[in-house]
Amino acid sequence: MPVARGIGRWLTVALLLLLAALEVLLLVLVFVPLPRRPLVAAASVLATSWCTAVLGVPALLGLVLVRALWRTRAVRTTRWAAWVALSASAVALASALAPYAAALATARVHGEGLSLAAQFAGLNYAREPARDRTLVYARVGKHRMKMDVWLPGGRRPRTTRPAVVWVHGGGWESGHRSQTPRWNEWLNDRGYAVFDIEYRLAPRATQLQQIGDVKCAIGWVRGNAARYAVDPSRIVLAGTSAGGNLALSAAYTARDNRPRPSCETRGDTSVRAVVSFYGPTDMAGMIAGGANRADPRVRRFMGGSLMTASAGFRLGSPVRLVRGDVPPTLLLHGSHDRLVPVRQARELSTRLARAGAVHEYVEIPWADHAFDYNWGNWGTQIARPVLARFLRLHAGH
C-alpha cells in the first residue's frame, strides 16, 4: 500500500505540473515575441487568434482539477505542486479574459458588441486560388497576370455598383489570389464586386514592379467596368500585410509617373479609397538595425540598398508619400503584431492627421499579425463593421 500511495502521489504531481507547463507554454505563445520561424509563427498566430479559448479552457480545467484533488491524501502530501498548478491556472484565466475585455471596449467605441459563439466561425484561408473564377488581366513579359472575379449573386444590377480590388499578403514573395475568401464572400453579400488579384512575386520582381502590377489591375478593372456593372469612380483598393503595403503605395502614387503601371491601362489608376490590414508603411523601418540591411535578397527586392535606392524605398513606403489629398484611408492593425510593428501604422496615422487627410485608424487590442485568418476572433469581429461603415461612407453603397 505505501508503494501504491507513492505512485499515486507522483502521478498527481506529474499531472499538475504538466498542466501548469502547458499553460505557461500557451502564455508564451500568446504574449511573448518569438523568432519568426514558420512553425513558431504559425503556432503563435493560432494561439493568439483563439486566445480566450486557448488559455481559458486549460485554466478552467486546472482550477477544477486542483479543487477536486485538493482534499485527497496525495495532494495533501504534495501541496506545493497543487499551488504551482493553481497559480498557473489563475494567471492563464486572467490572461484569457484581458484580451476579451480590451476588445469589448474597442468594439463598444465603434457601437458594436462581441459574440463568444462567433469566435468559432472557422478559418478565413484558402490553400489555392478560386480557379473557376480566374481570368488573365494582363501579360507582363512572359508572365500571365491573373485575378479571381467574385460577383454578388442574383440578377445583374440595374445601376452600377462599387468594386473592391483585393491584394493578397505573403511577405511580397508568397501567397496567392483568393487567399482570404471569406472577405470576398462578405463583400459580395454587401453588393460589392471583388477583383482578387495576383502580382509578380519576389525575388523575380521588385517591390516597385509589384506596385506597377497593382496599378495594372486597377486599370483593367476601370477599362472593363461596364462588363461587370461596376462604377469606375467607386473602386476601393484593399490588401492584407504585404498586400496592404502595395495597396497604400499604389493608391498614394496613382497620379505620379513612378512607379508606372506594368501594362497599358485605359485612363488613370486612381481609387476612391484604400484599406490596409496590418500592412508595412515604412520599408526602411522594417529593416533598419537588423541583419536584413545587408541581405542581398532585400537589396534585390528593393532595387538596391538604402543609400543606392532611396527613391525605391520612398515609393514603397506609404508613410513617406502622405499628402492631404491621398484617398481616404482605413488602417486596421493589431496592437500585438509581432511581424509588422504597430508603430508603423501609428506613424502613418499621425502623418495623415497632420496632413489633414481623410483617414481612420483602428488598433485591435492584443491582436497579432493576420488576425483575420480566424474569421470569428475578436479582431475580425471588430474589423467587419468598421470596414462596412468605411465602405458605405466612401464607396456609397
Of the residues 168, 359, 369, 394, only one is catalytic, namely 369
- At residue 235, the 3 state secondary structure works out as strand
Measured from the Cβ of residue 234, the count of other Cβ atoms closer than 10 Å reads 21
Angstrom CA distances, 169 to 22, 210, 256, 361, stand at: 32, 12, 24, 20
Contacts for 23 with CB less than 8 Å, ≥ 6 apart: 55, 58, 59, 62, 88, 89, 91, 92
- Backbone torsions φ then ψ of 133, nearest 5 degrees: -110, 5
Where residue 66 falls (left for φ over 0; alpha for ψ -120 to 50; beta otherwise) is alpha
Check if 176 is active-site. no
Q: Is 337 tagged catalytic?
A: yes
Per the annotation, the verdict on 262 as an active-site residue is no
Q: What is the DSSP letter of 194?
A: E
Give residue 146's region: left, alpha or beta (phi > 0; psi -120 to 50): beta
377: cell is 476572433
- 348 neighbors 29 (Cβ within 8 angstroms): no
Q: Of these residues, 148, 196, 282, 337, which one is catalytic?
A: 337
Residue partners of 50: CB distance under 8 A and separation at least 6: 119, 374, 377
Distance CA(168)–CA(184), nearest Å, equals 12
Options 49, 241, 249, 276, the catalytic residue: 241
Q: What is the CA radius of gyration of the chain?
A: 24
Active site residues: 241, 337, 369
